[in-house]
Amino acid sequence: MAEQAKWYVVHTYSGYENKVATNIEKVVDNRGLRDLIPEVKVPMETVTEIKDDKTREVERKLFPGYVMVKMVMNDDTWYIVRNIRGCTGFVGPGSKPIPLTDEEVARMGVESKVVEVNYAVGDTVNVIDGTMVGFSGKVAEIDTENNFVRVIISMFGRETPVEFQLNQLELAKSED
């Protein structure tokens, strides 16, 4: 495939985000266009809400009135998405949709990047980024889903657990 799919933002009527996303998915499946429109998302966040002294977790739309569509832009895909009921158009000047940049996609949390780690629990690692650059310690816990690692670092003669992001550490070179 010469052209790669990019993320576009589609404007919808307020409250129609899930319906528009579902309808786009149906059309894509019915017409066999999964190679041109591989993904449709309504970005959500989980929020803890306290109401009447009761705490509960609620899913809330990050961008009300918008749906993210990963697609290869051509006349056919533009026409299909643009003519879904509840869709008012693409975000961009005039009728020309502008794809999101890689930085925007990362910042908005639309696509989750897989970070490969070359260390495991029990390994010695060096801190290569952040306020504790130069320190080293033993990995106690790795949580790749939430992008954090807990490392036990010896500070001032005490063992101290410190949390880092996955990309802030590197495997310490063994001295043979």
pLDDT digits (tens, 9 = 90+) for 115-168: 667 888 899 999 888 888 888 999 999 887 777 889 999 888 899 899 888 888
Structure tokens at 162: 């410190």
Tell me, rounded to whole angstroms, the distance of Cα 22 from its chain centroid.
Answer: 20
Is the pTM higher than 0.85? The answer reads no
pLDDT tens digits, 79-106: 999 999 999 999 988 768 999 888 888 7
Provide the CATH number for the domain around residue 67. Answer: 3.30.70.940
Given a cut of 80, whether residue 176 has pLDDT beyond it is no
Q: How far apart are CA 80 and CA 20, in angstroms?
A: 12
The amino acid present at 140, given as its one-letter code, is: A
Strands, sheet with 87-90, edge to edge from the N-terminal-most edge strand:
39-41, 66-71, 6-12, 87-90
Q: What angle do CA 3, 7, 8 make, to 5 degrees?
A: 110
**Structural domain that includes position 131:** 124-171
Given a cut of 60, whether residue 29 has pLDDT beyond it is yes
Q: What is the pLDDT of residue 57?
A: 84
Closest listed residue to residue 42, CA positions, set 98, 101, 87, 92 = 87
Domain annotation covers residue 101: yes
One domain for residues 23 and 86:
yes
Residues 32-53: what's their mean pLDDT?
87
One domain for residues 73 and 159:
no
Closest listed residue to residue 73, CA positions, set 91, 57, 87, 55 = 91
Q: What is the pLDDT of residue 112?
A: 59
Alpha helices in the chain (DSSP H): 17-31, 75-82, 102-108
Mean pLDDT of all residues in the chain?
86
Residues 64-69: what's their mean pLDDT?
93
Tell me, rounded to whole angstroms, the distance of Cα 172 from its chain centroid.
Answer: 29
One domain for residues 30 and 95:
yes
Q: How far apart are CA 113 and CA 103, in angstroms?
A: 12
Q: What is the pLDDT of residue 2?
A: 42
Given a cut of 50, whether residue 20 has pLDDT beyond it is yes
The total of structural domains in the chain comes to 2
Given a cut of 70, whether residue 113 has pLDDT beyond it is no
The amino acid present at 92, given as its one-letter code, is: G
Q: What is the pLDDT of residue 56?
A: 84
Q: What angle do CA 34, 36, 38 make, to 5 degrees?
A: 50
